[in-house]
Amino acid sequence: MGEALTRALVLDFGGVISKTLFETHAMSEAALGLQPGTLTWRGPFDPETDAPWRTMQAGEMTEREYWALRMRETGALVGEAWSEFPQFVGRLRGADPAAVIRPEALAAIGKAKAAGCRLAILSNELDLFYGEDFRARLPFLADFDLIVDATHTGILKPDPRAFGLVTEGLGLPASACVFVDDQARNLRGAEAVGMPYVHFDVTQPGDSYSRALALLCQGD
């Protein structure tokens, strides 16, 4: 990758680095003591059967509103009322967050790092969803040069200012970064600032990371 230190891979977290909650229903049902098949919402894996997901994709509901709905519904199934997302995610995923990290993500992060590229995370709700102690339980996050989390900045993607925080933090132009996100609307912010991007397909994570790394190499 030639001029490695002049380029950066910028990743969303949920869906891109970690598996989605849609993919881990079996784990969630076991953790909650629910019968297999109880959780039926499938989001991008079966949009036709998930009306709230379609509403969110149409821009009529925010992503946080979607997950607040699923949090209330799931809590009701076990007689619990969760008021914060980390309670919800913690109950569904247990004490081992590393178990839901995509192996494709770790491989791509390793390749980018080995090539001398910078690494950054741009998330709308990393600590909001997972809790502030979550990062300490994922050693690979130490490889990242920068984490920009709207939980703390208050600037949500696709606001171009969120992408500005990344370029300022890395000291790189937008054109030297490749942004990866599974939510198409967030890519508008990257486009607005001239940052190359890949729309991550959660059903084909390996292919999505291959495209991102190929795009990163194009700058060499």
Quick check: bond before 158 cis, omega within 30? yes
Q: Where in the chain is the domain with CATH 3.40.50.1000?
A: 4-18+101-217
pTM: 0.90
Torsion over CA: 206, 210, 211, 212 (sign): positive
Cβ(156)–Cβ(162) below 8 Å: yes
How far is it, in rounded angstroms, from Cα 8 to Cα 11? 10
How far is it, in rounded angstroms, from Cα 16 to Cα 18? 6
Cβ(9)–Cβ(119) below 8 Å: yes
CATH 3.40.50.1000 fits 4-18+101-217, yes or no: yes
Could you tell me the mean pLDDT of each successive run of 10 residues in the chain, 220 residues long? 69 96 94 96 96 95 94 97 92 83 97 95 92 86 96 96 98 97 96 98 97 86
What are the percentages of helix, strand and coil residues in the chain, rounded to 5? 55, 10, 35
The per-residue b/e assignment along 142-172, b for 16 or more CB within 10 angstroms, e otherwise, is: eebebbbbbbeeebbbbbbebbebbbebbeb
User: How much is the pLDDT for 54?
Assistant: 97
